[in-house]
Structure 1
Amino acid sequence: MAAKLNVLFKKIQKDDKKEVLMFHVQGDDLPHADELLKMPGSITMLNMEEAEVGEIGAEFVSIQRDHKKTVLKFHIKRDTESKVNKLYPFAGSNVSITLQPSQMSIEEFYEEREGIEYTVDGSGNVEVNDNQMNMDDVESEAKLQRVK
């Protein structure tokens, strides 16, 4: 279930491998408290309406509440830099964010993924290593798994 909040975008801070985002919800009342209190320590899809960048995967690091405010802290990987750069102008402003749990684990989120090696010839054709798995191989493997 998605939780939509009006928050103060308190800060955005760069780190070597991630961006740290901090939002404040003012007052005692925390909308969607039941859902939000279950999310820290997991991956969340974050969408800031004003930035118009779509959903960004973020680690929901912590939620801290006191009588004046609730602080929501997130980590975003640096590989989403093109989207993150569009958030900077909104730091210090009130914004609307939508948070939704992701099916991705924290390990998957931070996993370094290698791309497929390929070459491009002079006419623009892509050549992939013959040992690379293709969609026919995937379909054949899926059929074998169903038979077992």
Structure 2
Amino acid sequence: MSKVELNVLFKKVQKDDKKEVLLFHVQGDELPQADELLKMPGCIAMITVEESQAGELGAEFVSIQRDDKKTVLKFHVKRDTEGKVNKFYPFAGSNVTVTLQQSQMSIEEFYEDNPRIEYQVDENGNVEVPKDQLSLDEVEDQEDQDAANPFEEKELH
């Protein structure tokens, strides 16, 4: 998956209750790296706006629309836990350098609310989880303890 670097007009950032929409315009009838870009809509793309220094941001590449004056690239950002989109706001309405790279993550994984649990499987087929991972036994023990002492004050972590 190659990277596509474009000089674009960062048209706008629009926020609603479920997502943030990023619109970029490539001016003119020539679209550099058109073949690469036309393969990306419907996938998750990693976006970097060089001027913002926010790092990579994962977004759904929703659509690409071309006419004789411009090409519009539209992205949806559902989860921005690190506040990277907020770093993009000052650049809306400006020309910026955008780097796009197709992510290996599927749309289903991107919109999944449950984070992945990291684990390793050894040569015997046993699963090894990180040491700080809670086990089911620990959860059940805590639930039993909570049921036995319902009015005991809990320590907040």
**TM exceeding 0.5:** yes
Task: Tell me what 1:52 maps to.
Answer: 53
Query: Quick check: 1:5 aligned with 2:38?
Result: no
Distance 1:88 1:81 in 2: 14
Change beyond 3 A, Cα 1:115–1:41:
closer
- Partners in 2 of 1:17 and 1:29 — Cα distance? 34
Query: 2:11 aligns to what SS in structure 1?
Result: strand
Aligned match of 1:142 in 115, 122, 125?
A: 122
Where 1:29 maps in the other structure, the secondary structure is coil
Q: Which residue of 2 aligns with 1:14?
A: 15
Task: Please tell me the residue identity of whatever aligns with 2:32.
Answer: P
Alpha-carbon distance between aligned partners in 1 of 2:36 and 2:116, rounded to the nearest angstrom: 35
Q: Given the two structures, how large is their TM-score scaled by the length of structure 1?
A: 0.78
Match of 1:112 in 2: 113
Percent identity of equivalent pairs: 70
Report the structure, 1 or 2, having the larger strand content.
1
**1:114 to 1:101, Cα distance in 2 relative to 1, 3 A:** closer
Given the superposition, is the C-alpha separation of residues 15 and 29 from structure 1 closer, same or farther in structure 2, using an over 3 Å criterion?
A: same
Aligned partners of 1:7 and 1:83: how far apart in 2?
Answer: 19
- What is the total number of aligned residue pairs between the two structures? 125
Q: Which position in structure 1 is the counterpart of 2:73? A: 72
Aligned to 2:43: 42
TM-superposed deviation, 1:115: 8.7
Q: What is the CA RMSD across the aligned residues, in angstroms? A: 2.0
Q: Are residues 1:27 and 2:28 paired?
A: yes
Q: For the structure 1 residues 114 and 54, does the alpha-carbon distance in structure 2 shift closer, same or farther, using more than 3 Å as the test? A: closer
Question: In the superposition, relative to structure 1, how do residues 38 and 20 fare at CA in structure 2: closer, same or farther (>3 Å)?
Answer: same
Match of 2:147 in 1: none
By how many angstroms is 1:18 displaced?
Answer: 1.1
Structure 1: stretches of 5+ with no match in the other structure: 117-134
1:100 to 2:101 alignment:
yes
Which residues of structure 2 form unaligned runs of 5+?
A: 127-157
Which amino acid counterpart does residue 21 of structure 2 have in structure 1?
V
Match of 2:133 in 1: none
For residues 87 and 47 of structure 1, what CA distance do their matches in structure 2 show?
10
The verdict on how the C-alpha distance between 1:115 and 1:29 changes in structure 2, with shifts beyond 3 A counting, is closer
User: Whose radius of gyration is greater, 1 or 2?
Assistant: 2
